[in-house]
Amino acid sequence: MMSEAVNKSFPFTIKVADHFTSRLRGLMFRKRPLDQEGLWITPCNSIHMCFMNFAIDAVFIDRGGRVVKLINNLQPWKFVKPVKGAYSVIELPEGTISRLKITEGQQINF
């Protein structure tokens, strides 16, 4: 179910991975979990958690920044198939989706 269009921003730094090598690496091999930070991988419509050491929340957005899919508590070594309509994904600390009350249909602002 799509919610009403509400603008949402993040109260912490979001780094951008928009080149081949930064998109390929993502958060792999990082030792410590995200804390007050996130990673925006663009373009990207699917992700994997290979070589990850912690869980994350994933927010898939379309070209216009509207949330099309949310995944809470994505565990290491899991895979997310391509998400229809997604152009990029924002990887966030576990629990962020719930804490910030992010819902499908919301507009993400950076």
- 40 is written with which tokens? 């925006």
Q: Assess whether pLDDT exceeds 70 at residue 95.
A: yes
Say what the pLDDT of residue 24 is: 87
The answer to whether 73 and 92 are in contact (CB under 8 A) is: no
- The CA-based angle 29-15-57, given to 5 degrees, is 65
Say what the pLDDT of residue 38 is: 93
Kindly state the average pLDDT of the residues 3-21.
76
The answer to whether 69 and 22 are in contact (CB under 8 A) is: no
- 34 is written with which tokens? 């995200």
Which domains can be identified in the chain, with CATH numbers? 7-108 (2.60.120.1140)
